[in-house]
């Protein structure tokens, strides 16, 4: 029998989560199989995934019709469909959640992306989702925007598991880590248990390389007279996201050595793990599993779409790679300032965050539109 390399990755202290959730994989037993035998130990979802799952699939029609008969508005029908899938996925993962002492076995759901810039609305929706879905292995996804971080702090203080998403810069990751710590400190000060709360910080990868590679390609297309300059530009392509992630992990190690973190750990707090997201390779010239192979390390998670999971199970080269070539990672990021390369990484990260929120809002609105169309078709005349 062929080796499943996903199971090897688990031995290095990294969890592999599935970046996909549909009713099909729940009802067919595929999800149970992935969890019990294929090394998958969590699930992330987002509006784009649900749009694909619900829009063209008759599997949801009976529930949509039930919502119509109950006179529910479109938004509530949407929630009834998605919350049911999330609950069922949580139930499948619950044994693993218990066996791992609440380290893994989580299912993530996003608060509506349309409220990404509204702190109070984010807090209110996170509380409502957690209460209505009513599963302790649920994680609420909150974007790591400026208004998102105070929401993260409060929701953690409330005792709700949080997946902070859309992190691109190392600075935004560090701010997220401290928001988690402040939330735990607040909860502890209220005399409440902090040992049952989990959090991940979702650090995005392929979108960074896609953005920077496009900038480099534009420079190369204009024409570069100097061979040395051309070589410098080409040396950066496809390398920035992994270098950036390696630096973020070094910051994680500093944070967990801090006195503030150590005081919380002594009270049973769980580390907030870095989660590598956006891990399918967009450029066909790159190795299809590079965002997995090059970032394997302790206390991390990689959330992976189905095609990349199959590819990795088949041909990932597995080693503890996250802390190799760290000096080169710092040098590479520093070299972006070189006048010959001249890429402002802070601007890139800002661009990506704005784009990232749009990429969640668009499918969310598209899903609502296609659901409305379906409701019209399925409504009795």
Q: Where is 142: in which H helix or E strand?
A: strand 138-143
The C-alpha atoms of residue 274 and residue 68 are separated, in whole angstroms, by 41
Catalytic residue among 32, 76, 141, 221, which? 141
Name the DSSP letter for residue 141.
E
The SS3 call for residue 167 is strand
14: phi then psi, degrees, rounded to nearest 5: -110, 135
Residues 371, 76: contact at Cβ < 8 Å? no
Which of 345, 295, 348, 347 shows the shortest CA–CA distance to 322? 295
The C-alpha atoms of residue 381 and residue 374 are separated, in whole angstroms, by 13
The C-alpha atoms of residue 228 and residue 312 are separated, in whole angstroms, by 35
Annotated catalytic residue 52 = no
Structure token digits, residue 222? 């204009």
Cα-to-chain-centroid distance, residue 300? 12
Catalytic residue numbers read 141
């Amino acid at each position: 029998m062929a080796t499943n390399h996903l199971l090897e990755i688990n031995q290095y202290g990294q969890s592999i989560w599935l970046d996909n959730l549909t009713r099909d994989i729940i009802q067919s037993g595929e999800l149970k199989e992935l969890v019990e035998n294929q090394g998958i130990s969590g699930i992330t979802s987002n509006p784009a995934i649900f749009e694909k799952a619900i829009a063209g699939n008759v599997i949801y029609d009976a529930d949509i019709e039930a919502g119509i008969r109950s006179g529910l508005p479109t938004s509530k029908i949407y929630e009834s469909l998605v919350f049911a899938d999330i609950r069922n996925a949580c139930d499948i993962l619950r044994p693993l959640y218990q066996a791992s002492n609440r380290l893994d076995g989580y299912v993530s759901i996003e608060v509506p992306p349309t409220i990404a810039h509204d702190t109070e609305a984010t807090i209110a929706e996170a509380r409502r989702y957690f209460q209505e879905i009513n599963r302790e292995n649920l994680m609420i996804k909150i974007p790591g925007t400026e208004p998102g971080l105070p929401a993260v702090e409060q929701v953690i203080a409330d005792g709700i598991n949080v997946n902070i998403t859309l992190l691109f810069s190392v600075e935004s990751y560090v701010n997220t880590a401290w928001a988690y710590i402040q939330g735990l400190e607040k909860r502890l000060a209220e005399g409440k248990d902090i040992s049952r709360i989990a959090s991940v910080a979702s650090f995005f990868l392929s979108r960074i390389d896609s953005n920077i590679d496009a900038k480099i390609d534009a420079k190369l297309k204009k024409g570069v007279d100097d061979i040395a300059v051309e070589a410098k530009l080409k040396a950066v392509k496809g390398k920035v996201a992994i270098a950036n992630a390696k630096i973020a992990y070094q910051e994680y190690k500093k944070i967990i050595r801090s006195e503030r973190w150590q005081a919380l750990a002594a009270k049973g707090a769980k580390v907030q793990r870095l989660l590598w997201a956006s891990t399918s390779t967009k450029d066909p010239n790159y190795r299809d599993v590079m965002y997995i192979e090059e970032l394997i390390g302790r206390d991390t998670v990689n959330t992976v779409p189905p095609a990349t999971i199959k590819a990795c199970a088949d041909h990932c080269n597995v080693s503890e790679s996250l802390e190799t070539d760290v000096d080169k990672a710092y040098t590479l990021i520093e070299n972006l300032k070189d006048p010959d390369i001249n890429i402002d990484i802070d601007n890139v990260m800002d661009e990506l965050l704005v784009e990232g929120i749009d990429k969640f809002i668009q499918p969310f609105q598209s899903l609502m539109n296609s659901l409305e169309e379906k409701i019209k078709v399925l409504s009795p005349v």
